[in-house]
Amino acid sequence: MFDYIVVGAGIVGLSTAYHIKRLDPGASVLVIDKAPGPGGGDTGRSAAAFRAFFTNKANMLLSKSSIAFYRSVQEAGFDLGMRFIGYLWLVDRRAQPRVDAALRHADALGLPYERVDLGLVEERLGLRASVRGLEEAELMGLDDVGEAILVKEAGILDPDRLVEYYYEKLRSMGVEFRFGSRVVEFIVEPRRPLGIEGEPLPWQDSRVSGVRLEGGLEARARRKVIAALGAWSDQALRAIGVDPVSKPKKRQIFVVRASTGELSQILHARGFNAEGVMPFTILPRDVLIRPEPREEAFWIGLSDNLGRPFKLEEPPAPEEHYYTLGILPVLSAYMPAFEGLYPETSWAGHYDMSPDGLPVVYEPFDSDLIVACGTSGSGIMKGDAIGRVAASLALGLEEAELADGSTMPVAWLGVQGRMAERELLII
C-alpha cells in the first residue's frame, strides 16, 4: 500500500514521481516499470534534442521551463550533457507558414532566434540551398531553401544522464522502485465495497485502486495511480475503458559516421554556437540531422505521418529502405556531402502522438487514475514541466508552478479546457 503509484519509469513517470514527492514529502511513492531499469522505453531511444520553439503556446512554455530546469541542474554540477548548439531551420516555401507561426510565439515570449545568412550555411554545412533545376530534386518536387532560422535556446542533451538525475533524486527521497515488473491490470474497485458479487456494479462509485503485476502481486494506492506509459498507454488503458487520447507511431534514427574530411568539418562547423558544433539541423521535408560529436557521427531521422500506421511494434525495428529511399535522396539533394553514405547502425522507437501535439494529462471519470502521456515526440524537452503538471493534478491543485517561476493551469493539458492550438512543429 502506497499513497501514489507511478507506472512507467520514463522521463514522464520519473519527473512526475519527483514532483509529487517534492510537493508532498511525507507521501509514500512506488514507481513500477517492466524494463530492468529506468529509461528503458522511448526515453532511452530518444534523440534528446531540445528547443522552446513550437506553435502551441503551452508546448512552448512546457519546453522553455523544462530547459531552464535542466540548465539549472547542469549549472549546479550534475552534468546532463546539455550543449546549447541551437536548432537550425532551413525553411522552404512549404515549411514557411509553420515556422512563421512559431516565430510569432517566440517574439511574444522573447525567445531568442536569428536569421542566418544562407551563404554561411552553404559554406560551413555544405548546404545546397538552390535545388531547382536538379533532375532528381525536380522529380521529388523539392524546393529551394529560402531562409535559415537559428533558434538559440536549443540543443542536445544526454537522456541517460537526465534519467540518472531523477532516479538518484528519487532514491534519496525514499521513493521505491520495482523494475522488471509488468503491470497486467489496473484494478478498478468500488470506493465503498459492499461484498456483492460482480463488484464494481455500474451504480457504484468506483476508482482505480492499484495495479496487478505479472506473477500476481498487487500494489494499492491510497490516493492516485499515475499511468505514465508513453507509447504503451493505449494498449494498457483500453482494457479499463480509458482513452489516453494518444497513439504510438514508429520513429527511426540512422547513425552515419563523419567518415570523410568534409563531413568532419560539417560536424564541427564553427560560427553557429560557442560549442563549435553544427546545430541540430532541419532540412526541407523535415529530414533532421542531429550532430553527435562524442561519436563523430550524425543521427539522422525523418517523421512520416500519412501512411505510417498507429501501431505498437515490439521491439520496433528500423527499416533500411526508409533510409535509402525515404531520407537519403532528400539529404543528398540539400547536402551533397552525404551522397552515397549509409548508416552504420540504427534504432527505432515510438512517438506517443496526441491529435494536437500537446501532452495529455488528465483524470478520467474522477477515477483516481492520472493519465500522463501524448508527448508527441518532444517528451524529453518538456519532461520536467509535464511532471509538474501531472503531480499538481495528483495533488488536487489547479495550477502547476513551473521551473522558471511561471504557472500553468493543469486544465491546459486536460481533455477539457485544453490549450487547443494545433502544434505544427512536430518533427
Q: Which three cell numbers stand for residue 327?
A: 531520407
Query: Are 162 and 383 in contact, with CB atoms under 8 Å apart?
Result: yes
What are the DSSP calls for 17-40, one per residue?
HHHHHHH-TT--EEEE-SSSSTTT
Q: Is 358 in the site for ligand FAD (CB under 6 A)?
A: no
State the Cα–Cα distance between residues 15 and 228, nearest whole angstrom.
10
> Which is closer to ligand FAD, CB of 143 or CB of 412?
412
State the Cα–Cα distance between residues 425 and 26, nearest whole angstrom.
40
Contacts of 241 (CB under 8 A, 6+ apart): none
Q: Which three cell numbers stand for residue 290?
A: 542531429
Q: Is 47 in the site for ligand FAD (CB under 6 A)?
A: yes
> Which is closer to ligand FAD, CB of 36 or CB of 198?
36
- Name the one range near ligand FAD by CB under 6 A: 72-80, 85-93, 319-327, 376-384: 376-384
Q: Is 378 in the site for ligand FAD (CB under 6 A)?
A: yes
Contacts of 58 (CB under 8 A, 6+ apart): 358, 408, 412, 413, 419, 421
- Name the one range near ligand FAD by CB under 6 A: 20-28, 96-104, 125-133, 222-230: 222-230
Q: Is 379 in the site for ligand FAD (CB under 6 A)?
A: yes
How many of the chain's residues bind ligand FAD (CB under 6 A)? 41
The least distance separating ligand FAD from the CB of residue 286, rounded to whole angstroms, comes to 13
Site string for ligand FAD, 94-123 (x = CB under 6 A): ------------------------------
> Which is closer to ligand FAD, CB of 124 or CB of 182?
182
The least distance separating ligand FAD from the CB of residue 366, rounded to whole angstroms, comes to 23
The least distance separating ligand FAD from the CB of residue 378, rounded to whole angstroms, comes to 4
Q: Which three cell numbers stand for residue 100?
A: 512563421
State the Cα–Cα distance between residues 281 and 245, nearest whole angstrom.
30
Q: Is 381 in the site for ligand FAD (CB under 6 A)?
A: yes
The least distance separating ligand FAD from the CB of residue 177, rounded to whole angstroms, comes to 12
The least distance separating ligand FAD from the CB of residue 182, rounded to whole angstroms, comes to 4
From candidates 162, 226, 236, 353, binder to ligand FAD by CB under 6 A: 236
Query: Are 300 and 292 in contact, with CB atoms under 8 Å apart?
Result: no
Q: Is 392 in the site for ligand FAD (CB under 6 A)?
A: no
From candidates 30, 253, 337, 389, binder to ligand FAD by CB under 6 A: 253
- Closest listed residue to residue 49, CA positions, set 21, 94, 20, 81: 81
The least distance separating ligand FAD from the CB of residue 42, rounded to whole angstroms, comes to 4
The least distance separating ligand FAD from the CB of residue 301, rounded to whole angstroms, comes to 6
Q: Is 46 in the site for ligand FAD (CB under 6 A)?
A: yes
> Which is closer to ligand FAD, CB of 142 or CB of 280?
280
Three-class SS state of 156: strand
Q: Beta strands 345-353 and 360-362: pairing type? A: unpaired
Q: Is 148 in the site for ligand FAD (CB under 6 A)?
A: no
Q: What angle do CA 154, 157, 161 make, to 5 degrees?
A: 150
- Name the one range near ligand FAD by CB under 6 A: 100-108, 128-136, 167-175, 224-232: 224-232
The least distance separating ligand FAD from the CB of residue 43, rounded to whole angstroms, comes to 3
Query: Are 149 and 113 in contact, with CB atoms under 8 Å apart?
Result: yes
From candidates 17, 20, 31, 48, binder to ligand FAD by CB under 6 A: 48
The least distance separating ligand FAD from the CB of residue 28, rounded to whole angstroms, comes to 19
From candidates 3, 23, 28, 35, binder to ligand FAD by CB under 6 A: 35
State the Cα–Cα distance between residues 138 and 327, nearest whole angstrom.
16
Give how far Cα 394 sits from Cα of 169, 188, 223, 346, Å: 20, 18, 8, 38
- Closest listed residue to residue 229, CA positions, set 390, 26, 3: 390
Q: Is 11 in the site for ligand FAD (CB under 6 A)?
A: yes
Q: Is 34 in the site for ligand FAD (CB under 6 A)?
A: yes
State the Cα–Cα distance between residues 294 and 331, nearest whole angstrom.
22
Question: What is the amino acid identity at position 101?
Answer: A
The least distance separating ligand FAD from the CB of residue 402, rounded to whole angstroms, comes to 16
Q: Is 12 in the site for ligand FAD (CB under 6 A)?
A: yes
Residue-wise burial string across 211-220, b where 16 or more C-beta atoms lie within 10 A, e elsewhere: bebeeeeebe
Return residues touching ligand FAD (CB under 6 A).
7-13, 32-35, 40-43, 45-49, 182-183, 228-232, 236, 251, 253, 349-352, 373, 375, 377-381
